[in-house]
């Protein structure tokens, strides 16, 4: 494994949209404009908000455009990306994000895996002035989230029983389970919480600030287990 630092207890890996940033409105507006541009149909924003967090954007466009032409789909996805900045004012960090990350970073490694290109993700971190709070941000546009989780674990030498993945979608929780790390469901950002809860995440939080108490509790359990083993 990679770097080991005995002063760092755990590895905490975040998803971005729906966990750190509220992007529902921006996503809905971008999708609405893109679909209208390519089909002439103006669907309700609520239709798109229900799909926030869906990792298969191409499938979304097949459904909304009622067309599976590869060239059209690629053009639609590129158009969606190109108008991202237009709706950036609709994206905002959830309350308490910066303060929580700063506190957690004191004794833990902080990672980020997001279904964006590396360039796009780093741009958003810079936009919100939180780049310095992450030890390893990874854009997973070209790889699965579970592989990215394992990559970060290996880099910092943190075992899976000391690694947590915080996400708001079914895909996030499934990725954590595939990587065999603890899953934390960010209920506050979920578009369809009932579907995520069916996957039985290890923990559920209703506000990002609750992570501090959760991590403290896990540390006590880990330290207690280590003490028992050394007796």
> Over pLDDT 70: what percentage of the chain?
90
Q: Which one is predicted more confidently, 10 or 7?
A: 10
Identify whether 2 is part of a domain: no
| Pair 181, 131 in one domain | yes
Average pLDDT over residues 92-112: 97
110 - beta bridge partners? 12
CB 175 within 8 A of CB 146: yes
Containing domain of residue 50, as a range? Answer: 24-90
State whether 116 and 146 are in the same domain. Answer: yes
Give a yes or no: residue 1 inside a domain.
Answer: no
Same domain, 139 and 154: yes
Question: What average pLDDT score do residues 50-78 get?
Answer: 86
Q: How many domains does the chain contain in total?
A: 2
Q: What does residue 144 show for φ and ψ, rounded to 5 degrees?
A: -80, 155
pLDDT at 99: 97
Statement to judge: residues 79 and 157 lie in one domain: no
Same domain, yes or no, for 113 and 190?
Answer: yes
pLDDT of residue 219: 86
Please give the sequence-ordered ranges of beta strands (E in DSSP) within the chain, or none if there are none: 10-14, 21-22, 92-93, 108-114, 136-139, 163-167, 182-186, 203-205
Q: Looking at the structure, do residues 85 and 109 belong to the same domain, yes or no?
A: no
Please tell me the distance from the alpha carbon of residue 131 to that of residue 126, in angstroms, as a whole number: 6
Q: What is the mean pLDDT of residues 51-62?
A: 77
Please tell me the predicted confidence (pLDDT) of residue 228.
45
Q: Are residues 80 and 101 in the same domain?
A: no
Nearest to 30 by CA among 78, 98, 66: 78
**C-beta of residue 17 within 8 angstroms of C-beta of residue 27:** yes
Beta carbons of 165 and 175 less than 8 angstroms apart: yes
pLDDT at 231: 42
**Claim to verify: residue 191 and residue 106 sit in the same structural domain:** yes
């Amino acid at each position: 494994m990679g770097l080991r630092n005995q002063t760092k207890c755990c590895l905490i890996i975040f998803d971005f949209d729906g966990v750190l940033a509220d992007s529902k409105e921006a996503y809905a507006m971008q999708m609405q404009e893109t679909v209208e541009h390519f089909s002439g149909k103006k669907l309700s924003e609520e239709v798109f908000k229900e799909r926030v967090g869906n990792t298969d954007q191409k499938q979304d466009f097949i459904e909304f455009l009622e067309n599976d032409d590869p060239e059209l789909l690629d053009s639609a996805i590129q158009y969606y990306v190109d108008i991202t900045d237009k709706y950036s004012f609709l994206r905002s960090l959830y309350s308490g994000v910066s303060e929580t990350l700063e506190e957690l970073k004191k004794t833990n490694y902080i990672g980020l895996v997001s279904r964006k290109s590396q360039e796009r993700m780093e741009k958003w971190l810079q936009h919100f002035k939180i780049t310095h709070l992450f030890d390893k941000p990874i854009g997973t546009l070209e790889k699965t989230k579970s592989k990215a989780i394992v990559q970060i674990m290996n880099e910092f030498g943190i075992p899976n029983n000391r690694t947590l993945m915080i996400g708001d979608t079914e895909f996030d929780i499934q990725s954590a389970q595939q990587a065999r790390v603890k899953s934390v469901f960010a209920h506050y950002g979920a578009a369809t919480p009932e579907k995520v809860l069916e996957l039985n995440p290890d923990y559920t939080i209703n506000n990002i600030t609750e992570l501090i108490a959760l991590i403290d509790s896990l540390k006590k359990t880990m330290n207690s287990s280590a003490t028992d083993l050394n007796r």
